[in-house]
A and B are shown apart, each in its own frame.
Chain A
């Protein structure tokens, strides 16, 4: 399924997702708000690994307005509630890497990662072979999460 898109080379990968609303399905966009965008990670640690991206192209919390920071926090809370219902995990990792030195993939535009966790979710495949099998149908998970994001407010 090829759709002609507005590939602006000046935009970072996150901003391209934000700009290209027509590609929301392929990009696994779960929810669009006025301040934030939530997507399902395509290379997840576990199924249900979400990214909350601020609409502003920024690498720092300092440059966000108060309501934008508030929106990020609200979306963290909501994502955790929805993942709890859809995936029933035993724990969560929530965090961000600011800057290349800290391991950020895109140091220009930060995102907050939410990872549902289970006991024993990293075995020899992760530790020896650096590989994570995704034990879920990611398309139906995407649909299910998306429905929940739009139902709950």
Chain B
């Protein structure tokens, strides 16, 4: 099915642009982007319903795109992500951006139109520094534990844990973390990849139940060059976005501190209710 106004449908009609494809998905360079050699993977069908049976084809194409970018450009890291909303019914898609140390120079920072969201509660994280010199992995330590406000683990699946971020970008910023200590998405098996996708869907439902969130930024930062705070243990961010969150006014902003314990309790209740 095609839609005349859809950008992805238009690219699909120009078959020459496509880098790789399989039955359900195709991958192509996204030339609109500020970031060079960004690959967009999108479903061929405009009216796409999320369906777990299609994950294996997505998995194959994502790995192919990552190894293509690694072989051709030798990046220091990757960003992999998407902007989703509940009830999304057009192309399932993900952007893969090869990242290099020092790739964000003044052409990107000066007068570039980035939206700003306000997260003053992260001040301590930035000032007091990240616990960089720990000899243990902060994620591994908590992976097998039962949910509690101390470890911020909301719930588990077979291979993953859903954890509330201690330094959230927005209220209810969750992470989907594999229980095994791996660094990259290419180390995930097909079964794990598929479970990861369902965990993200579950996280969205939990956030919708707890905080009425309906729009999300979902993604990975791979490597320090990709902006990862903890590059040694893979984690996928699910950042809920709220209405008008980029139009903050610091003079009237109420939540200078985030009540993590209260948020944890709400999310944990929602998780138990939904995953039942």
Contacts and interface: CB of A to CB of B under 8 A. Distances in A.
Interface of A: 1, 26, 43-46, 93-97, 103-105, 113, 115, 117, 119-139
A132 B114 contact: yes
Interface in B86-113: 95, 97, 99, 101, 104-106, 108-113
Given A44-B116, A125-B169, A135 B126 contact: yes
B123 A135 contact: yes
3 interchain residue pairs of minimum CB distance = A123-B227, A128-B81, A124-B219
A122 B104 contact: yes
Given A123-B226, A131-B116, A134-B120, 13 more contacts: A1-B251, A43-B114, A93-B106, A93-B109, A105-B111, A121-B104, A123-B221, A128-B97, A128-B217, A129-B219, A133-B169, A135-B126, A136-B122
B57 interface: no
A45 B112 contact: yes
Contact of A136 (B105, B123, B224): B123
Interface residues of B, number: 51
30 contacts: A44-B116, A45-B109, A45-B110, A96-B110, A97-B110, A103-B111, A103-B112, A104-B111, A115-B109, A115-B110, A117-B104, A119-B101, A120-B225, A123-B221, A124-B79, A124-B219, A124-B227, A125-B239, A126-B227, A128-B79, A128-B80, A128-B83, A130-B114, A131-B114, A132-B114, A134-B120, A135-B167, A137-B250, A138-B250, A139-B250
Given A95-B106, A127-B35, A132 B125 contact: no
A134 to B, nearest CB: 5
Contacts of B225: 120
B139 interface: no
Interface of B is mostly: mixed
B175 to A, nearest CB: 12
A131 B125 CA distance: 19
A94 B97 CA distance: 26
A44 B112 CA distance: 10
